Structure 1
Amino acid sequence: MARLVLPNYPPHVVQRGHNKQVVFADAADFENYLAKLRELKQALAVKVYAFCLTTNHVHLLLDPGDDPTALAKLMKVLGARTTRYRNRLEGRTGTLWESRYRSSIVQNGTHLLACTRYIELNPIRARMVAHPRNYPWSSFNTRFDTTPGADWLDEVPCFESAGLVPDEKRARYATLIEQGVPTSEIQLIRDALQRGQLTSNSVFVYEIEKITGLRITNRGRGRPW
């Protein structure tokens, strides 16, 4: 099934290590990946709304901007550089990642915020930490870092257009985090990724169908649109 990527529509991307192998073994590995992500974000004009890295997979919430091919370019270069880095450390050759990353276009507004929260609460669901502030490899702490230049994330569009000052945005988002992710949201996000469909409501599905000329409906797991 062809991956759906459209200009200025953000996808939630998940990439896993091949056969669930370790991708990040220590702090230097995580830092190396994030440094490359930040570099490629600037070079390709891709927006980064959220991220979470675990030992064997990554979650990214990105926006390719006006050039939809920028997403594939970023993932290809980022994956290749991480593979070379890991192979040099271990004196090995071969693949590091699964051959195909998963992606799901996310509707702006509540769905985009829900996906951001889902990504940053991933370490909580995995019982790795008690609060996202205790996990150093997600975008949560970056989002709340007020040190000049430290917060390199892009503003989630619905917050950007709300006319709130930065402290108000952080307070509102902190409240969303404390509420946790409802089971219905978790299921919607996971199903959309599994099927390569949309994280959205039915109105948005219709909008994308009109744009693409494709039939995009929720069907059984693994079946085409």
Structure 2
Amino acid sequence: MARLQRTAPVGVPVHILLRANNRQQCFKASGDYAAFLWWLREYSEKYQVDVHAWALLEDHLHLLSTPNTAGGLSRMIQALGRQYVRFFNQQNQRSGTLWEGRYRSCLVQPAKYLLQVCRYIELNPVRLSLVSHAGDYNWSSFQLNAKGKPSALCKPHAEYLKLGETKEERTEKYLAYCEQSTNEELLKEIRDSINKGLAIGDESFKMEVEKMTGRRVRQLKSGRPLGWRKPK
């Protein structure tokens, strides 16, 4: 299919996927993970992006973030990627690119999908058999959202805050939610949306985003030409 233009409207959550080139390792030591999270905090503050969830894995990473300024998310990812590549190359006495290319992104409907995408991201280490329980993995936001570990980086979304009036209530309900079995159809929907650069949500949300941005965020239907943009 044709490559979709990325768009990140202010206030709309975005699922980000960034892979290492040729599936090589982009994180080798604990210091690599820690450095990346340090700069993620720095650049998320600089470009006014709220970070709700993340999972840093050996050859790729997931983020769930909401930009608060136009263009803030892409600037954050670009600055973060460049800074980390310089660090990683210096640490490993290498040169050249580290990332697969442009990052993949998927707009997320908050009310219906934000917590589902958050759970998907934080349970990645379990699905990859890196740990038996998500709470045992140090390089995701699970310990924050499900266990209440303090963090200056994680900014809870309004949908997460609705889980309870207190921090204890929210973490308890979110932990119970994560312990529920995940529907395979939902996993496929999330994967397809991020890999194809489509929005994840109901039709009204997708239509609203297309009207807002003038860019296609739904799967092409038969007969619709590639490169569709809304009529002016």
Q: 2:30 aligns with which of 20, 23, 27?
A: 27
| Structure 1 residue 211: Cα displacement | 1.7
Corresponding residue of 1:165 = 166
CA distance in 2, matches of 1:216, 1:100: 17
Deviations 1:160-194 (A, max 9, x none): 34662111111110111100321111111111111
Corresponding residue of 2:198 = 197
Corresponding residue of 2:98 = 96
Note if contact 2:55-2:62 (Cα within 8 Å) is conserved in structure 1: yes
**Letter paired with 2:219:** N
Note if contact 1:145-1:151 (Cα within 8 Å) is conserved in structure 2: no
With normalisation by structure 2, the TM-score equals 0.89
With normalisation by structure 1, the TM-score equals 0.91
| Structure 1 residue 151: Cα displacement | 5.5
SS of corresponding position for 1:37: helix
**% identical aligned pairs:** 33
SS of corresponding position for 1:50: strand
Aligned residue pair count: 221
SS of corresponding position for 1:109: helix
CA distance in 2, matches of 1:93, 1:181: 40
| Structure 1 residue 203: Cα displacement | 1.6
In structure 2, list runs of 5 or more residues that go unmatched.
none
Note if contact 2:15-2:117 (Cα within 8 Å) is conserved in structure 1: yes
**Letter paired with 1:143:** N
Distance of aligned partners of 1:175 and 1:3 in 2 relative to their CA distance in 1, 3 Å threshold:
same
**Letter paired with 1:166:** K
| Structure 1 residue 123: Cα displacement | 0.8
CA distance in 1, matches of 2:58, 2:13: 24
Deviations 1:129-167 (A, max 9, x none): 1110011110011334546x5353111221334662111
Corresponding residue of 1:185 = 186
Q: 2:42 aligns with which of 36, 39, 43?
A: 39
In structure 1, list runs of 5 or more residues that go unmatched.
none
| Structure 1 residue 75: Cα displacement | 0.5
Q: 2:131 aligns with which of 116, 129, 132?
A: 129
SS of corresponding position for 2:110: coil
**Letter paired with 2:106:** S
SS of corresponding position for 1:179: coil
